[in-house]
Amino acid sequence: MSAEQTQFDVVIVGTGFAGSFFLMRYLEHADPTARVLVLERGGADPKPWQLEQRRTSSLAPEDVFVNLTPEKEWLTSPGFGGNSKCWWGGATRMMPGDFELHSRYGVGSDWPLRYDDLEQHYGVVETVMAVSGPPDSPMPRSRPFPLPPHRMSDPDALLKKHFPDGWFHPATARASVPTPTRAACCASGICELCPVDAKFTIQNGLSAPYQDPRVTLRLHAEVEALETAGGAVSALRYTSGGRNERVQAPLFVLGASALFNPHILLRSGIAHPLLGKRLHEQMSIDVCLDLGGVKSYNGSSMISGNGYLFYEGEHRREHAACLIETWNSPFAYQSASLRMERGRWNERTCMRFMFDELPREDNTVGIYGPNPRLAVTQFRGYSDYAQRGVDLVPQMVGKLSAALPIERIVSTSLGDTTAHIQGTVVMGEDPATSIVDRHLVHHQYRNLLVLGASAFPTATPAYPTVTVSALSLWAADHLFASAA
Ligand code: SF4
């Protein structure tokens, strides 16, 4: 690499939601001569390859991390587009109370920003993702969804009729109508690898910034460490194609997920008492219910309804809040999804109840001793706060029975993952109790941003993706506003 190629204006690590939305907004602000280097650990893994191989990444999980608690699954998909390749398209915003858990309800911790700070950014993200959603909403919105809502299933329609302010069409990046780059969702229910490209991914919806002549994208580039000098990050070392590389820039941005952001910082010796701790996601319970005379699985997408009945409210003082999703696929729960009685096979509905979480410091990601290239996760358990919410699932089902002819609870089971990884480089106002500030700038190294769900102080029941993306826009805007 020539001397000229080792100097950039910004180096971004990661091409998933966090890095790509930051890059989009950075390029909008930056001048025409800006030089941006983006490093991605995985390969291009184009969609035809994914479909042929029936997987989303050419790197296996064991190539990048070691899970010391295999019963607790963490899903990650290295490669261009990151976890946008394997996500399921859930695009719910967080609720205002999620940002103010402590000041409203006296539990957990507040986020160092408010819902209103992100509202406009949420709108931009939804536009880029072409999110489908209803005209009504459980949270304040300043603009309609870009795409019309999906069709609810019959059980969802009954729930909506009975609980008009508690049940909603899902906000989802699974297209309800065709877009210029995506087909309409056909409710096949295998969204991890959508066969018709109906869900938004970085590849089908946000690849343009990577074609910008100011941007150099380097695939198969594995970050070794950040170097620091004089209270700033001065350089980044990485390997690519068997070669050791070193680049310098006035700004470094980590967008490598809540598994690998802390791993890079730990390898760099950038310490903090909380670094790598509070690894978390929602606690989830899967419930299948037999219905009398109501047919299921006739919505137009994988998730056909979201229940907010047990989300916001004073109960959050005592136990975790809950977001419910109705699964619209008879294959989602294998044999538990269908009834055996003749003519009644789809008189059953399966739902996931997702509870927010107060992160525990003993759930961690660290460095794997024998091989520092691998992150290592350890999960000791969920909080009592989440468990108290889960314990109330039977009562919640009882409330749903006011709208649904529930004959019996067929099964309940603890979910092994909600496919969200959060909370290992926490944000906050106080450098003693947080690692990055409200704009995701590292408290100590002010030319270092750490993006993504690693900054989440608490889990919240909502899906994290549009919040991750909105935070990247918020961070990029602040960067340029503070430099002006
Ligand atoms: S339900 Fe099927 S078509 Fe729709 S996003 Fe999921 S995989 Fe794609």
Q: State the alpha helices, DSSP H only, in 13-80.
A: 17-29, 47-53, 61-64
Which atom of ligand 1 is nearest the CA belonging to 199?
A: 5
Q: How far is the CA of 170 from the centre of ligand 1 (A)?
A: 14
Pairing of strands 364-367, 283-291: unpaired
Which atom of ligand 1 is nearest the CA belonging to 197?
A: 8
Confidence of residue 188 (pLDDT cuts 50, 70, 90): confident
Q: Please state, in angstroms and rounded to a whole number, the distance separating the CA atoms of residues 43 and 218.
A: 9
CB < 8 Å & 24+ apart, contacts of 231-238:
231/444, 231/445, 231/446, 232/445, 232/446, 232/447, 232/448, 233/445, 233/447, 233/448, 236/11, 236/13, 236/39, 238/39
Q: Please state, in angstroms and rounded to a whole number, the distance separating the CA atoms of residues 335 and 333.
A: 6
Q: How far is the CA of 21 from the centre of ligand 1 (A)?
A: 23
Out of 182, 196, 303, give the residue to mutate to test ligand 1, the one with the largest number of ligand atoms within 8 Å of its CB: 196
pLDDT recorded at residue 334:
57
Gyration radius of the chain's alpha carbons: 22
CB 57 within 8 A of CB 42: yes
Question: What is the CATH number that goes with domain 4-483?
Answer: 3.50.50.60
pLDDT recorded at residue 5:
74
Out of 188, 193, 304, give the residue to mutate to test ligand 1, the one with the largest number of ligand atoms within 8 Å of its CB: 188
Confidence of residue 1 (pLDDT cuts 50, 70, 90): very low
Q: Please state, in angstroms and rounded to a whole number, the distance separating the CA atoms of residues 39 and 258.
A: 17
Q: How far is the CA of 406 from the centre of ligand 1 (A)?
A: 28
Q: Please state, in angstroms and rounded to a whole number, the distance separating the CA atoms of residues 41 and 59.
A: 9
Which atom of ligand 1 is nearest the CA belonging to 302?
A: 1
The 10 Å Cβ neighbour count of residue 340 is 7
Alpha-carbon separation of residue 256 from 19, 83, 95, 383, 449 (angstroms): 8, 10, 25, 26, 11
Residue 461 or residue 337, greater confidence: 461
Instruction: Dig out the tokens for 247 from the structure.
Output: 């680049």
Confidence of residue 333 (pLDDT cuts 50, 70, 90): low
| Closest residue CA from atom 6 of ligand 1 | 191
Q: What percent of the chain has pLDDT over 70?
A: 98
Residue 441 has pLDDT above 90, yes or no: yes
Q: Summarize pLDDT for 394-434 with one digit per residue, the tens.
A: 999 999 999 999 999 998 888 777 788 989 999 999 999 99
pLDDT recorded at residue 476:
98
Instruction: Dig out the tokens for 240 from the structure.
Output: 């690519």
Q: How far is the CA of 175 from the centre of ligand 1 (A)?
A: 9
Q: How far is the CA of 297 from the centre of ligand 1 (A)?
A: 14
Residue appearing with tokens 């409210």 = 313
Q: Summarize pLDDT for 19-52 with one digit per residue, the tens.
A: 999 999 999 999 999 999 999 999 999 999 999 9
Q: Please state, in angstroms and rounded to a whole number, the distance separating the CA atoms of residues 450 and 443.
A: 10
CB 255 within 8 A of CB 472: yes
pLDDT recorded at residue 332:
61
Out of 302, 328, 329, 465, give the residue to mutate to test ligand 1, the one with the largest number of ligand atoms within 8 Å of its CB: 302
Which atom of ligand 1 is nearest the CA belonging to 328?
A: 1
| Closest residue CA from atom 2 of ligand 1 | 188
Residue 415 or residue 351, greater confidence: 351
Ligand 1 interacting residues, C-beta cut-off 6 A: 89, 174, 185-191, 194, 196, 198-199, 301-302
pLDDT recorded at residue 26:
98
Confidence of residue 2 (pLDDT cuts 50, 70, 90): very low
* Cβ contacts of 16 within 8 Å, gap of 6 or more: 81, 82, 83, 84, 202, 255, 256, 257, 452
Across the chain, what does the average pLDDT equal? 94
Residue 91 or residue 70, greater confidence: 91
Least confident of 120-129, 130-139, 281-290: 281-290
pLDDT recorded at residue 369:
78
Confidence of residue 73 (pLDDT cuts 50, 70, 90): confident
Q: Which sign, positive or negative, has the C-alpha torsion 345, 348, 139, 429?
A: negative
Residue 9 has pLDDT above 50, yes or no: yes
Instruction: Dig out the tokens for 433 from the structure.
Output: 């109790």
pLDDT recorded at residue 61:
87
DSSP, residue by residue, 303-319: EEEEE-TTSSSGGGGTS
Query: Could you tell me the residue ranges of all domains in the chain?
Result: 4-483
Out of 185, 203, 303, give the residue to mutate to test ligand 1, the one with the largest number of ligand atoms within 8 Å of its CB: 185
CB 307 within 8 A of CB 352: no
Least confident of 144-153, 185-194, 267-276, 297-306: 185-194
Residue 362 has pLDDT above 60, yes or no: yes
Mean pLDDT, rounded, for 227-242: 95
Q: How far is the CA of 413 from the centre of ligand 1 (A)?
A: 24
| Closest residue CA from atom 3 of ligand 1 | 185
Q: How far is the CA of 201 from the centre of ligand 1 (A)?
A: 12
Confidence of residue 205 (pLDDT cuts 50, 70, 90): very high
Residue 484 has pLDDT above 80, yes or no: no
CB 39 within 8 A of CB 218: yes
Q: How far is the CA of 459 from the centre of ligand 1 (A)?
A: 26
Which atom of ligand 1 is nearest the CA belonging to 183?
A: 3
